[in-house]
Structure 1
Amino acid sequence: MIQTLFIDQHQDLHDLEKLKDLKRRFMDTSEMAHYMVDLFLSAVHVRKNGNLPTSEDFNPSLNPDNVRISLKFIKVEFKSMRIDGMKLDSSPRPQSTLNQSAAAQSSFSRGSKKLLDEIFVGIDRDVEHIRDKLVEDQKKLDVVSIVGMGGLGKTTLATKVFNDAYVKHHFHVRVWVTVSQTYDKRGVLTQILESIRGQLHLEKANDSRLRELVHKNLMGKRYLIVIDDIWHIQTWDNLKVFFPHDNTGSRILLTSRQTEVAMHANSDGLIHHLGYLNKEKGWELLCQKVFQGRDCPEWSIKVGMQIVENCQGLPLALVVIAGVLAKHAWGKKFWKEIAERTSSYIVGGQNGCLETLGLSYSHLPEHLRECFLYLGGFTEDYMFQVERLIWLWVAEGFIQKDGNISLEDIAEGYLMDLIDRNLVIVADRSKSNGGVKACKVHDLIRELCLEKAKEEGFILETEKLILSPQFSNGITPTYKLVRVFINEESINPYFPYPTTQNLRTILCFLNIKYSGNAIVNGSFVLLRVLDLQNRRRIQFSEDMKLLVHLRHLAIRIKSEGFPSSICNLWNLQTLIYITAYRRSVVLPGNISDLVNLRHLLGHKNNVFVFPLTEKPMNLQTISSLELGNGVGDCLKCFPYIKKLRCHTYLETEYDFKSLNYLVKLKLIGNFETSVDRITFPTSLKTLTLERCGLPWSEMSIIQSLPNLQVLKLHSWAFNGSCWNTDGQEFPQLIKVLEYNAIEGSCWDTDGQKFQQLKFLRLEGLDLKTWKAYSASFPCLKQLEIIGCHILEEIPFEIGDIPTLELIQIRGCRKCVDESARRIEEEQHDFGNYNLKIHII
């Protein structure tokens, strides 16, 4: 029955309403069974801790007969079902499992496939028109607007203009700000400052100080500010005071769905109304997304043009439908079905567009649906950090186990599948390996997520949510799992018992008032995810130790010391424990009881101090670990660690060789002591050293690491004024040298050959003379030089590297900027226009 309902991919069968109804009932029954088992375990745990008030109030009634009866009826109905005269359970099925099918469907390629998420069709003339207006010879501040409905590609067009080579060259400062419907002044100011100056620590700065910094950093410069997705006139009136009018030829580019906002911002300026794609451009976009440069089959043209016509020129609809078709690129019958179904939709308005986009949801495999719906609960324009999103998916139970592949790797495959289907947008990539670091969803896709999630009772209302004893009347069965995403301010959620004892998730994005009595009355007993890290300094309640189903806990605590009762939460997979700017967090002796804990993170200023224990843990990630006496014994506690940041305080040897899964390590010493010797595992791909004071002879150890791709040397990583690397090779090095890592005023790379080096950054170095040769960096694509205040010039030979695409310079002397310009001019004389120079 499971094979037929959930694994076999027979579209004709799954289109039958009676089969869909049977499938839905089966899932509901399964959910009811999960609910009862988990409730039973909670009841046992509460009674075991009988001294707590909850033990008197919490007394669930459990009746497994309901599950048995429901399964019996489903089984009988399934056996009696006939399709084309054949019983469903009579045909032989291939031997497979749900896990294997899900894994096969996801078939992730983790970087081996280049994602086509930046295909621009039919907007070249629009780009030229807007660019010419932005760079025209007019000194006063001017506002240019792009206006159109959701899904027409306003942000895509603005992105193309923003990244145009001439625009980059023309403006001293370029800033991108996303506003959306809910305007957050502090958030906008922070976005501007971080675009100009990089990551800053602005938590303590008030709004007046932020505004002052913005004005100071823009004054006297020719700047371009893109304000994406602005909805209200009042928002513009609030924003415009941030930007200085100093006749430097600066520009502001707005994107909005509201023409009145553009008219109010500048009635005399250019307002570019974005139109729909014509059939030819629509077909070109569909082909590029589906066939990815390959020739399309002859049969696809007629039916494809019908699909294009049905999408009525809306790029977002075309892109999402292309994501559906790409999975069946050569299926003529499937294309015809899609063409017939899209013909019933009118895409002229948002509702019609949502129906068209809904086709992409109906063709999602089961294992991706919950992951997709989950995205709708987050705030508009939310930037998902991929690593955190994956941890949440795993904690929610969305990821199905497949052999020896880790749940995190399978989840990454799910995400790549959603990206391939054009339902998720890549927002940021790693410079070192091109992997996806952050992603987001289009506003209309988020609306689709919310609509489907509410239809299926997957999440509660996220806007203007007030939980009261009446909220659950008639909404969901008592066993239906409930997820709450709190996005609105000025609410004080009340979670009544027993109506919300099926609550599985609370994700809070705002600093709400948190009431601890919710746990006492039993409302939270089935929680799997509790994320209150945006709630400032909550007081940890001892009743939290009853939440034995918790898999993901994120809290910002104000109590002194790490509560030992957290170690009772044996299901925890991810713990994000943030405390008030204290240096060390001493963990209790029973921390190893968290047998399922895989990721332990704290505030950037927190360092975890582990007790000495012989019991190994399953930790894969530790944000910051203190290594003191008994270093070797401590490291043996983490045999499966993959990512580790640790601090050293002693003059001793540090041996990481036994950590066979370790791929990323940051080791921070101090200026008072130096490390005698460090040994590393061959699995290491990323290494950061800071203040270790190693002798340069130890570099040979790093050189010998066969899988090293990223090397960062921060201040006083090595001790000595001379680094002679003649004859050393780093075969897979991608990133090297940051933050004054090397002492001495001269770096000569003669004899070195970084065979696969793609990205090189020199940051904060005491480097005066740099001698380099094109043969030293045969594969270099990007060079960044940041804050090298005494560097005299960039070696002229760098320009001869055939693969070099970008040189970026920030905070260096004028002579460095001039040397970069000379390199650019010479390469242009040779006909090489691929090399770009970006000076901040």
Structure 2
Amino acid sequence: MAEGIISDLVAKSLVSLGKPAFKEVVSWWGARDDLKKLENTMTFIQARVCDAERRQEGENSELIKLWLRKLKQVLYRADDLFDHVLTLDRQNMRVERSTLAKVSILFSKSGPFFNNRKLAHEIKSIRKELDAIKSDMDGLNLSANLVAGLPLPMERLISNRQTASFVKVEDVIGRENDKNIIIGMLFDPKFDDGKRITVIPIVGFGGLGKTTLAQLIFNDEIIRKHFHLTEWVCVPEVGDQNTIMRRVYQSFTGDKDSDRLLVGQIKSGIQKSIKDKKYLLVLDDIWDESRDSWLDLLNLLGCGASGSRVIVTTRSANVAKVVGTTEAHNLGLLTTEESWNLFKQFSFNLKQEESNPILTIFAKEIVDSCGNVPLAIRVVGGLLYSVNSEKEWQRIRNARLSKTKLKEDNNIMQVLKLSYDYLSPPLKQCFAYCSLFPKDYSYYKNHLVRFWMAQGYFDPSSSEIGEQYYMELLGRNLFHNPEFSEEGNIIFCEMHDLVHDLAQDIAGEEMKLLVEPSNLITTDGVMHVSVEVEWLENAGWEAPVSLLAARKLRSLRLFSFDWINNTSIIKASSLEMMVLKFQCLRVLNLMGMKIFVVPNTVGKLRHLRYLNLAWNDRIRSIPDDVTRLENLQTRTSVVASYWISCQEVLANWPT
């Protein structure tokens, strides 16, 4: 899991340790000292885990990754413990106040006397494991109290991400219409409307060619003649407006030694350079969403002549709203024909296409897997340009091209990952969770938000936060193609294949989308699984042993594309076995499995937040034991076709 997530898990653990429910637990069996030691150890680790996350690809990277993996597993175990304690606390609050009831529950296996003894032992065990992790940390030379910032790979990428204004026109295919639209906006006086400056945002996810389009416009001869000044500035930093101002100053004045100047001198230098001049300024790769910072820069740029223009390229629709004075130009994918022409330009040697028709067949399939994304096509084309072997072309064709290429050359991954790196830790988890769904999936907002809420990625008391997270992913172009209701609300979005590959790469071993669950080789660290279940005639699907070994699963999502057969897709005995094995589940999605019976053992899933039984038409009732599901966050988490027969059970559900 990527930067920021484990430090967030540590922070959540410390919050849980401070809750009043734990004061009752530590009063039993001498656990008070263990709890205090546990808190001290976590605090010590928290001060250094941020540095460990930043250094996952630097010196001692393999040791650091191993250390973080061990830490994460213990943190998840601690989270289960904390959740159990809070659940018991809610149960005890509802206990009848009679003396008989108190005595009965006190000495039962579900009562506080028994559970506190068991939980105190678990606290001691977790504390010892964290002590060992703390001891292992000493050899990693981690810095304490590191201020959160860009991960090291991000810093290296930014240093290599400096863009220039030049582009070879013959290398660009499929952007002529976009170019003409933007040039029209540069010349059209209606965009002035009394303003001294017009800001035109170009928006799209990484790899679409925003910078390339801006370069085409910037270097057009008509543009050069129209403006007195044309300058290009690459500004990938976030939250450092002074650096941006210095770069703008350097571009307009040619003074590269601006570090010696005060901010006031920088500002006056910019104003002096552009005063009463009609200029075009390109700000490439803007990330800062702070309106105050932008307004400060805009005030400086406003002293140019009427008709001055600023073009901003960004991946974030939020940035476009903040900086733009016009509607953003959303850059789309290439057409199939444009993708093919671009690929030919970068992959085929002279007349290679004509002389080898077999390569042409392979090539068209390879281009199709690039998803019409220019950067993907260019990088893959560059790889194949020096490959003459049909066997090698076939090997690349047969592989999942995008992921194969990302492993061979991190260029695409790094570019796409920039959008991910700037997400908050909870949003990073939300994005990675999207890897559990297949490509071309429609991510319905209401459903996805409930999945996230069940995992604790945001406070369940406010579903608005989850909707904000969803819109944030859309705004950063990690989702695209939104579908709107008649009222103008977003119903669902899609995810581009390359972005989906990024989500799977980020999720790593923790989240698995399985078409063949028997291919699950190792279960260490697997926390979330989505399984495609195939209907077998006269025999229901049975969970393989490899899947049942993943005892710490927090999500189990079963899905099937068989909508014709009416018999149960999954064996009842196998479903019951999975429920018994996966006691840490927060999400259990059995939608469309055509089951007849809901196992009584579902009532033992004390951590369960989300249960979906939709499209199981033959369910006639829900067992009474499901009323034990203390943590289900909403009753709409349970959906059954025969709703009336379930009303009595639902009426007894804990609120």
TM-score, with normalisation over the residues of structure 2?
A: 0.45
Which structure shows the bigger proportion of residues in helix conformation? 2
Which structure shows the bigger proportion of residues in strand conformation? 1
